[in-house]
């Protein structure tokens, strides 16, 4: 198989890192293609426990080329810190490469992310404040600075000077904030450029070469489908596309080469930040899920909002990504519950909606329609074969497959690599 995409199917934090770390064993390359250090991918393996923000989760496999693709926005300080931390834990990072076309997060992006959120007041989006919105806005506005720019100091200085003039005008005139110093940023980023230079490559060509040998490439999604700027719960979304199609644009792989798309779903739903979440549980069950699963953001530490599985959003996610497989994670979190609900429809003013609404004002008013299934109330943590799952767990999974019209091929029952049930081999 050539290119396999591993995509967040809900609102992020679905466990993509674990799935990629596991599947990378059979791959030749792993590519991050979107987002930036707003992502937090937790990986627990024999090297230890890691929260990766920028480095692909394939990094623990020495023979696997790891690429930070052109679609990722890079905060150099975060990336260098992450590389250092991996090295300290004995992880080889010599197989890591960064696209020469990736955009760089600058100090004004981070400042503006915070200032914009403050100005929104009660309407704040709940961003991670990592500069993501502003850096992708600059990319499209043609005001961005890319990794390749850092390699030519003279050209970088003149580009930075013209962009900073513009940014300082916004900082001082709109936000009444002090201006940033060209000299300081220039020196700091020249320094970053020198440290990152050994990693910077035309990564698209590296991938083409790997694909020409018919070796497997994994595209590692960040964020989740419902945070997509086009199809998510706009404006409560992120600023780059987490969809399978984004995997093509953000890596330089033609979408025709993506042979298999895995949608990673949690066995329930979480969301961090603002915006509607129809199945959110503001009761003791939501609290129980949060505590059992330790649902606190890997990037910001914020408590995640928890709720039942939303099959309406799930069907929409399948439709726009074209998933071939589902990886269902954190099934074990439901182990103690006497009964489990699945949202099978939304009710609005007495009518059942058959499409996921585009307007968040409408979504806010939707009432979830639930179907209740019996829980299994026994531990699944040590199950390796799907045949050993309790019958109620089978029933729950079969109902999800039916509602989503997609097979569950991987089931995760714990954070460790071995706590995984491979129902069918996907890579």
Q: Give catalytic residues, as residue numbers.
A: 13, 41
Q: Give me the residues paired with residue 68 across strands.
A: 32, 98
Strands 339-348 vs 351-353: parallel, antiparallel or unpaired: antiparallel
Considering only 227, 318, 343, 383, the residue that binds ligand IMO (CB under 6 A) is 227
Options 140-148, 151-159, 221-229, 337-345: segment touching ligand IMO (CB under 6 A): 221-229
- Whichever of 110 and 170 has its CB closer to ligand IMO, that residue is 110
Q: Which of residues 249-268 bind ligand IMO (CB under 6 A)?
A: none
Longest dimension (CA), the chain: 66
- Whichever of 38 and 203 has its CB closer to ligand IMO, that residue is 38
How many chain residues interact with ligand IMO (CB under 6 A)?
24
170 vs 97: CA distance, rounded Å: 34
Which of Mg ion, ligand IMO, none is residue 227 near (CB under 5 to 8 Å by kind)? ligand IMO
Considering only 13, 37, 220, 295, the residue that binds Mg ion (CB under 5 A) is 13
Q: Which of residues 229-248 bind ligand IMO (CB under 6 A)?
A: 238-239
| Three-state secondary structure string covering 160-227 | HHHHHHHHHHHHHHHCCCCCCCHHHHHHHHHHHHHHHHHHEECHHHHHHHHHHCCCCEEEECCCCHHH
Is residue 298 part of the contact set for Mg ion (CB under 5 A)? yes
Smallest CA-to-CA distance from 58 within 74, 73, 70, 47 is with 47
Smallest CA-to-CA distance from 133 within 165, 111, 163 is with 111
Is residue 242 part of the contact set for Mg ion (CB under 5 A)? no
Is residue 40 part of the contact set for Mg ion (CB under 5 A)? yes
Q: Six-digit token pair at 86?
A: 């991996």
Options 43-51, 116-124, 130-138, 355-363: segment touching ligand IMO (CB under 6 A): 130-138
As measured in angstroms, the least distance from the Cβ of 387 to Mg ion is: 31
Residue number with the smallest Cβ distance to ligand IMO: 273
As measured in angstroms, the least distance from the Cβ of 42 to Mg ion is: 7
Q: Six-digit token pair at 339?
A: 């009964």
Is residue 43 part of the contact set for Mg ion (CB under 5 A)? no
**Residues lying near Mg ion in the complex (CB under 5 A):** 13, 40, 298
**Residues lying near ligand IMO in the complex (CB under 6 A):** 8, 11-13, 35, 38-41, 125-128, 130, 132-133, 222-224, 227, 238-239, 272-273
């Amino acid at each position: 198989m050539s290119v396999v995409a591993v995509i967040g199917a809900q609102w992020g934090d679905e466990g993509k890192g674990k799935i990629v770390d596991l599947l990378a064993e059979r791959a030749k390359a792993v590519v991050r293609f979107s987002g930036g250090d707003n992502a937090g991918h937790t990986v627990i393996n024999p090297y230890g426990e890691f929260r990766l923000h920028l480095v692909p989760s394939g990094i623990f496999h020495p023979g696997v080329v790891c690429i930070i693709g052109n679609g990722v926005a890079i905060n150099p300080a975060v990336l260098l810190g992450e590389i250092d931390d991996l090295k300290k834990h004995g992880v080889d990072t010599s197989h890591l490469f960064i696209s020469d076309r990736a955009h760089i997060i600058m100090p004004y992006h981070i400042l503006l992310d915070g200032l914009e959120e403050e100005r929104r007041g009660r309407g704040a989006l709940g961003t991670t404040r990592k500069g993501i919105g502003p850096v992708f806005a600059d990319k499209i506005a043609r005001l961005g600075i890319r990794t390749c720019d850092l390699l030519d100091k003279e050209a970088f200085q003149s580009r930075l000077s013209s962009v900073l003039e513009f940014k300082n005008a916004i900082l001082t005139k709109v936000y009444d904030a002090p201006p940033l110093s060209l000299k300081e940023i220039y020196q700091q980023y020249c320094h970053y450029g020198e440290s990152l230079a050994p990693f910077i490559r035309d990564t698209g060509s590296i991938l083409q070469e790997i694909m020409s040998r018919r070796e497997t490439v994994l595209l590692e999604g960040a964020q989740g489908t419902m945070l997509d700027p086009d199809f998510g719960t706009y404006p409560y979304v992120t600023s780059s596309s987490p969809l399978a199609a984004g995997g093509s644009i953000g890596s330089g792989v033609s979408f025709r080469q993506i042979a298999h798309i895995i949608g990673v779903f949690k066995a329930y739903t979480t969301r961090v930040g603002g915006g509607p979440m129809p199945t959110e549980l503001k009761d003791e069950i939501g609290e129980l899920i949060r505590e059992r699963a330790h649902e606190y953001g890997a990037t910001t530490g914020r408590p995640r909002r928890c709720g039942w599985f939303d099959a309406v959003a799930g069907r929409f996610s399948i439709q726009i990504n074209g998933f071939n497989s589902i990886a269902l994670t954190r099934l074990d979190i439901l182990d103690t519950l006497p009964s489990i609900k699945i949202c099978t429809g939304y009710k609005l003013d007495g009518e059942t909606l058959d499409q996921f609404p585009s307007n968040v004002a409408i979504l806010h008013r939707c009432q979830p329609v639930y179907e209740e299934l019996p829980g299994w109330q026994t531990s699944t943590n040590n199950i390796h074969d799907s045949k050993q799952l309790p019958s109620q767990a089978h029933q729950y999974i079969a109902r999800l497959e039916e509602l989503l019209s997609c097979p569950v091929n991987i089931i995760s029952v714990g954070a460790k690599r071995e706590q995984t049930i491979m129902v069918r081999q996907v890579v």
